[in-house]
Structure 1
Amino acid sequence: MGLLDYIFYTFIVVVFFQVIYYLFFLGQFSFFNQKHKSPKKLDVSVIICAKNEAENLKQFLPSIISQDYSNFEIVLINDASHDGTLEVMEAFSSQHSNIKIVDVKNNEAFWGNKKYAITLGIKAAKYNHLLFTDADCKPVSKYWITEMCSHFTTNKTIVLGYGAYSKIKNSLLNKIIRFETLITAVQYFSFARIGIPYMGVGRNLAYTKAEFFNARGFMSHMKIRSGDDDLFVNETANKSNIQICFSKDSFTKSIAEKTFKKWFKQKRRHISTAKFYKLKHKILLTLIYVLNFLFWFLAITLFVIQFKWQIVIFIFLIRLIIQTVVIGLSAKKLDEKDLIFFLPFLEIFLIIAQLTIFINNLISKPNHWK
């Protein structure tokens, strides 16, 4: 058997495992219909950590204040900002009695560490149920708190939500950012459904104060600059205490980066935390990436040399159809249907971008969250 035969059969094996991955892993979310949860009358602390976010607070904080929910407070954390962030917070606080401000000064031991600021905010929170978002995020409806908190139970103490990005017409970068966000969400929702949760996003995440302190907060990874959301979930979540929420009223929406340079820098910071995940999660995520990379590399190789091209095209189309169906159903749930038409191109670009970011992070490491 020659080299081309080995490449061909390797391609078949890769596609076989990818089909299993899409149908039996990602399918856990794609084919799942969540039942509507009855609203719960829980007291909730909404926590927003802001560093130099004066303009974003002016624009987005009113959508938090106007939430249709019976009893909630807003804990605004000013993380050593040097713009007018604190003044904006104080202006809102003077008009709304349910706003509490935590003004964090730079601490030599925790310089530039968002986790230190969030910890102080959590300690200041009045209620046990905590709901997190960012200063540049806006809930898509006035029922955001209601929807997210309806998934809390006695045992379910961590709720994963979806943090989307606003759509920009005719922007390739915007589509890439939203596609990466979609795929990440489909993965963490699916893995949570399977019972091996590994991450969440701080743009839309809820957990209890008791869960936070039982895990000793961020102490095990306090020295790691990023990861206040995904590393905390990775450490504390399990199949018994995790719940997902993806009703459209529960989404938050952020403004995406407008240049490749800024997005690349942002993703470097996010991806740098993955090496601190539990071993089983690192193995699974690495395997998923390697299979994606091999699929496109082997497919393109076999197409170029036209080795058994009829069979290769048939196998390629089967994989592409299954992927489109599974990701398409998820995209419909998460209101990202416009991305499906560009799926192959966006996937190839993302594979290249992730490899580039991984190599850059090996050379130099990102340090601060802002």
Structure 2
Amino acid sequence: MLIIIISSVLAFVAIVAPLLCIYMRRQRFCSPDAESEKKPVSVILTVQDNAKEIEKNLQAYLEQDYEAGYEVIVVCAKSEDGTEDALKRYADNPRLYTTFIPDSSRYISRKKLAMTLGVKAAHNPWLIFTDITCRPASNKWIKTMAECLGEDKNIVIGPTVYDEESPLFWRFQRLNDDISLTHEYAFGTAYRAESKNILMLRDEFIEGRAFEGNMKYARGEHDFTVNKYAKKKGTAVTDSEDALMIENEPTRKEWRNHRLFYMETRRHLKRTFSHRFPIFIDMLFFHLSLLLPIAAIVYAILTNNLPIIIAGASALLITIVLRAVIASRRIRQTHCPIPAWRIIPLEIRLAWHKLNYWIAYKKADKYDFITHKI
């Protein structure tokens, strides 16, 4: 009887766990409509000590093929690496408009302030928020994003990936985050955006009073924007190659800070529970599907029980193969190809890294995440 019970539990978990993973969640991507009405676009970039990034990436923004017209607005904070000089090299380009953050602005997020000033300076009805650390992979980037903004949509989110020089684990974690968010874009209300590739309406941004209520939080500008302005089934997401943004490899400090600041940001976002609960269930069953068979095999070896050894080994093999196949099929649809055999080790590593981020966040001074002490 014990053998039957243990074998049944192992089989159940081995089959159910892969079916609950985020890679099984439904996805729906918009198809760019070349016949749709297109309006002029303002691309908003914020810079501070980004001279190298300007030299590497700005030209790609200024060479877009978009008949409706566009402008690139660069909002510059005081820098010490020659950022202003780098911008002056492009001063003759009629599509480029540069403005500056007042030196007197303090006790608020300078990134959010820069984005707000960029929107106020914009002349066009549609906005794209991105980052100077990113560059469009195609000169059809604006066109492709604009073709996804249908009458029933108020936000378009395009794909962003780290460049190929970035560590595989970092690229996988970003991909994992994107996949967990994509289902909500299409079938619910968007929670946030890991991608730095967001199109929305200028009037709507201004009428919603921009970042009112969260200017004191140092980071999370794209998360707060999507969380605040998203409507139910009102977010279009595209996976088109022409809409792709490629982000420069971050430093290890930048990567870690991004993860830690998100721990703070999510405390102030709406719909956090509904977003995180499926991820929690996925990770719970994923670890059960690995730990239970291993525990059963250890028990069976100690008690010299061959049937349970076979059941445990079979369950472990089933869950690994099923999950790898399901995840691989989903990941092949993205712009970040990862070999199937590496997915399970990466997922295990991801879970423990998240625990590490959480511990580091709990130990951190909470004033590190805001612009001034209250």
TM-score, length of structure 1 as denominator length = 0.86
The SS at the match of 1:80 is: coil
The whole-number CA distance in structure 2 between the counterparts of 1:20 and 1:309 is: 25
Specify the alignment match of 2:327 in structure 1: 327
Distance 1:102 1:300 in 2: 60
Contact 1:7 1:298 in 2 (8 A): no
Are the structure 2 counterparts of residues 55 and 294 from structure 1 closer, same or farther at C-alpha, using a change threshold of 3 Å? Answer: same
- Does the CA-based 8 Å contact 1:76-1:99 persist in structure 2? yes
Report the equivalent of 1:38: 34
More displaced, 68-77 or 79-88? 79-88
Letter of the 1:57 partner, please give it.
I
> 2:235 corresponds to which residue?
242
Residue 352 of structure 1 aligns with which residue?
A: 352
1:222 and 1:288 map into 2 onto residues whose CA distance is 33
1:121 matched residue in structure 2: 118
Q: In 2, are the aligned partners of 1:161 and 1:245 still within 8 Å (CA)?
A: yes
Q: CA deviation at 1:8?
A: 8.5
Match of 1:195 among 188, 197, 219: 188
Q: 1:33 to 1:111 in 2, by over 3 A?
A: closer
Q: Partner of 1:367 in structure 2?
A: 369
Q: Which moved more, 1:144-153 or 1:285-294?
A: 285-294
Offset at 1:306? Answer: 4.6
Give 1:274's aligned residue: 266
User: Which residue of structure 2 aligns with residue 77 of structure 1?
Assistant: 75
Q: Which digits, 9 at most, give the CA deviation of each residue in 1:123-155, with x for residues without a partner?
A: 111112111211111111111111111111222
Matched with 1:184 is 177
In the alignment, is residue 263 of structure 1 matched against residue 255 of structure 2?
Answer: yes
Gaps of 5+ in 2: 302-307
| Alpha-carbon RMSD | 2.9
Identity %: 22
**Are the aligned partners of 1:46 and 1:75 in contact in 2 as well (CA < 8 Å)?**
yes
1:57 offset after TM fit, Å?
0.5
Change (3 A) 1:343 1:53: same
- Which piece of structure 1 moves more, 104-113 or 68-77? 104-113
1:7 is displaced (CA, Å) by 12
| Higher mean displacement: 271-280 or 11-20 | 11-20
Match in the other structure for 2:136 = 139
CA, structure 1 residues 37+290, in 2 after alignment: closer, same or farther (shift >3 Å)? Answer: same
1:156 equivalent in structure 2: 153
- CA distance in 2 between partners of 1:355 and 1:256 (Å): 23
Deviations 1:62-105 (A, max 9, x none): 1111111120000101133232112222321x221121112013
CA distance in 2, matches of 1:80, 1:46: 21
Shifted more, 297-306 versus 198-207: the winner is 297-306
Tell me the alpha carbon deviations over residues 313-335 of structure 1, each in whole angstroms, 9 at most, x when there is no partner.
Answer: 33333433343333323322222
TM-score (norm 2): 0.85
Among 38, 55, 61, the alignment partner of 2:52 is 55
Secondary structure (helix, strand or coil) at the match of 2:73 reads: strand
| Alignment length (residue pairs) | 357
Q: AA paired with 2:31?
A: K
Q: d(CA) in 2 for partners of 1:265 and 1:193?
A: 29
